[in-house]
Amino acid sequence: MVDQELENKEIAKQYKELLRISYQTLSEKDKKQIRLAFDMAVEAHSEQRRKSGEAYIFHPISVAKIVAQEIGLDATSICAALLHDVVEDTKFTLEDVERILGKTVAKIVHGLTKISHLKKDKNISLQAENFRKMLLTLNDDVRVIIIKIADRLHNMQTMDAMPEYKQVKIASETLYIYAPLAHRIGLYNVKTELEDLSLKYTEPLRYQSIYEKIEESKEVQNEYIKSFSKFISNELDKERLKYSIKGRSKSIYSIHQKMLSQNIPFENIYDKFALRIIYKSTRAKEKFLAWKIYSIITDHFTPNPIRLRDWISAPKSNGYEALHITVMGPENKWVEVQIRSERMNEIAEKGYAAHYKYKQGEQKDIGIESWLNRLQEVLENNTGNAVDFVEDFKLNLYAEEIFVFTPKGDLKSLPQGSTALDFAFSIHTEIGKKTRGVRVNEKLVPLSKVLKSGDQVEVITSETIKPSKNWLDFVITARARSSIKSALNDEKKVRAEEGKEILRRKLKQLKISLNDKSIQQMLKFFKFESSQDLFYRVGIGTLENRKLKEFSSNYHNTILNFFKRRSRSNSMYSAIPDNSSISEKFDKLVFGKEKETLAHSFASCCHPIPGDSVFGFITVNEGIKVHHKECPNAIALQSNFAYRIISAKWVDSSSEEYTAKLKLTGIDKKGLVNEVTRLISNHMNVNINKINFDSEDQFFTGKIHVSVPNKGVLEKLVQNLSKVNGIDKIVRE
């Protein structure tokens, strides 16, 4: 039985804490408005409980606390957070919200409610479509997105009561969409927590292992930070600076990513923590003092020149400002030092809430407004598949930035890796579409030229130019990709309409009607993805009459199973298993709860072999593709196509061989290749399929393709190769 009196006391306590912890100073008017929202939320959710059994009202209060304290938004946002589920789940209407709390709160609540109303269409990814709809609400009010991120954070914090397959799905969505968005908006603390919680549910063993190792090393690490901080404090005190020094560990997720990307164990990661120096300063002296502190530190500790990051002279486009340096500290350990003023630190902690707090007069802002304007243009231009849209857009969410100049000297920020054509589209989509050539630093360069910070770029346009398909091979920004695809699609539609009529006439001569049935059979026969592709090929004349006659002769004998396969894919979803206990003998794959032996092939993006943790993905045209659980595409597939994921498990010994690709790097020496090939050849059950070694300035890179029966044999081979003198690193591709 629930103790109602005790529960009511806790609700009242949480409400008081919400007011107390708010980052913004709340006026009496603000507090009255929050009280109205709180009372409405309590009444609306009075009969509801969460899966954990607690009263539902604790969820909106917790979301409001995240919005108020961690993100630092205003009273209006706090009210909207308290009411974010009211219109969706209770008797209260949007009109009720507007009548009691005003138009602005109602508008934000309406934006949050719109996100929840998904179109149940099996042909698209619901999560990708959800993401696109969520971004469309940015046009209403950016606070909609921020509250949605806070809502997701609290859901992640309280997910233990859910079944495992839901935990994996929600965590995958969080890594795929919400963490990158939090990063882009400047909510670094929220992003870090979302990533760590996601790893906890997608890879619990890895999460727990890293967590325990961090805890084990915490005492030694704290002593090191304390000693290093004391030395720096003594030097800063001599200059009479006012400051504080904080040490912080790297997040579990960032350590996990570094272990994966560099193929190294936890013990070999040296920059597991950073020091943060936060100094008091007037706005006018901020830059001077940052470089003064830099000078003091580097007078005593050698800096790593390639690890200097100056985000004070050129802030990130999400408002982040700081000076990052990495120095060789005591005991020959690399230490990252972050130098921020109090204002910069608030912006780093609170994102745009603090950014706007400090904004003054006519100060030029290349931050969130320009980002939202570019985003809105991408949304309006986008006509394609929701999943393609998400992939294009996500390219720019985590991207590091470069800063380039227009001919007039205006500064433009672009993601690292952007090309000259990306720059043209960043000026205006119409300029991008008509780009004939580009000058970088007064020299003509290819449109595919990758830009670097400091370049001055001039775009040459022509009214006769149209975007071509090969442009998509080298542009990286969502704005450019979206605009090019939209332009190509318009051209394709015109040709497809012409092609449809031509095809109708040609089929009539072959005594076939152009209808849904014949179109589906042609898509299968010619291996086209859509009817538009079919009509377009006819329209441009690349589908020969001979091929149409071949189709005609097979027309009545072809057995189509396209729809049957799709139906099957919807019924076979189950959670991805943990294959951590697989041994060398388990080399045969079975699928689904019934443990069926099904036809399958291995994905080329991750090359899984027996013993790897894997899952099956049911494709439309190629049957089941088996992916490694740590495949770069795993999160996207689990998030977007959960209904097409099928569990896979290694259960039986097999004599089949599988190809594994190894990349070796290190210091070259005479006879190294002979030693490597001899070692592999002498290794039981391993054959070399392909080998290639390149050497430059005594540094070598080797690529070897070997055939192995299972993961255990491969691991033993890697272990033996790593003992060869000169080999520094071995990575499986």
Q: What is the distance between the alpha carbons of residues 423 and 53, in angstroms, rounded to a whole number? A: 53
Angle at 95 between CA 89 and CA 96, to 5 degrees: 70
CA 483 to chain centre: 22
Selected catalytic residue, list 89, 96, 388, 498:
89
* 3-class state of residue 624 by DSSP: strand
Helices (H), 83-141: 86-89, 94-101, 103-116, 126-136
Contacts of 317 (CB under 8 A, 6+ apart): 366, 367, 370, 371, 401, 413
CA distances in angstroms from 593 to 13, 240, 575, 603, listed in the order given: 47, 69, 10, 22
Q: Which H or E element spans position 615?
A: strand 614-618
CA 712 to chain centre: 32
Selected catalytic residue, list 10, 17, 54, 88:
88
* 3-class state of residue 1 by DSSP: coil
DSSP assignment of 40-81: HHHHHTTT-B-TTSSBTTHHHHHHHHIIIIIS---HHHHHHH
Asked if 697 and 667 count as a contact pair (C-beta separation under 8 A), the reply is no
193 is catalytic: no
89 is catalytic: yes
The answer to whether the Cα torsion of 32, 36, 39, 45 is positive or negative is negative
Burial of 533 per CB tally in 10 Å (0-12, 13-18, 19+): middle
Q: What is the distance between the alpha carbons of residues 551 and 522, in angstroms, rounded to a whole number? A: 7
Q: CB 684: neighbour CB atoms within 10 A?
A: 8
Q: Is 697 left (phi over 0), alpha (psi -120 to 50) or beta?
A: left
- Strands (E) across 267-359 are located at 273-279, 309-310, 323-329, 333-341
Q: What is the distance between the alpha carbons of residues 721 and 81, in angstroms, rounded to a whole number? A: 56
DSSP assignment of 309-326: EETTTS--TTS---EEEE
Which of 361, 362, 358 lies closest to 342 in space, CA to CA? 358
Which of 115, 193, 186, 187 lies closest to 153 in space, CA to CA? 193
Contacts of 8 (CB under 8 A, 6+ apart): none
* 3-class state of residue 657 by DSSP: coil
Task: Tell me which residues are annotated as active site.
Answer: 88-89
